[in-house]
Amino acid sequence: MNKIALFAFRGESMCFIHILLNAIQMNEKGMEVKIVLEGEATKLVPELISEQSFLNNFFKKAWNNNLIAGICKACAQKMGTLDSALSYGFNILEDMSGHAGMSQFIEKDYKVITL
């Protein structure tokens, strides 16, 4: 089985929609896929959880299918979204000096893709 970890670094919603769409499609094709919000992408939390956002339906589909592995703690703190992420129930990833490390995914045979 293909195992993919998509690390989203860019903070533009038009980029992140492609993370969501690819993860959903991969999942539907039987691949094991996880999304990690890193870097500037962590600032998108309020937009992802807002029902007014065009990202929300895709985010909810990814969330409900357990495709969201978590969010980088240090970056979410820096972007001011850690409290929102915590209150929504995001898994907080901090295994690499407060950041979300890739090694935990590589050790589980995930192919890491950064976008």
Find the CATH number of the domain harbouring 81. 3.40.1260.10
Range of the domain at 29: 3-114
Smallest CA-to-CA distance from 39 within 19, 9, 84 is with 9
pLDDT digit string (tens) for 83-115?
999 999 999 999 999 999 999 999 999 999 999
C-beta neighbour count of 90 within 10 angstroms: 23
pLDDT digit string (tens) for 5-64?
999 999 999 999 999 999 999 999 999 999 999 999 999 999 999 999 999 999 999 999
- Provide the whole-model pTM: 0.96
Domain count, the chain: 1
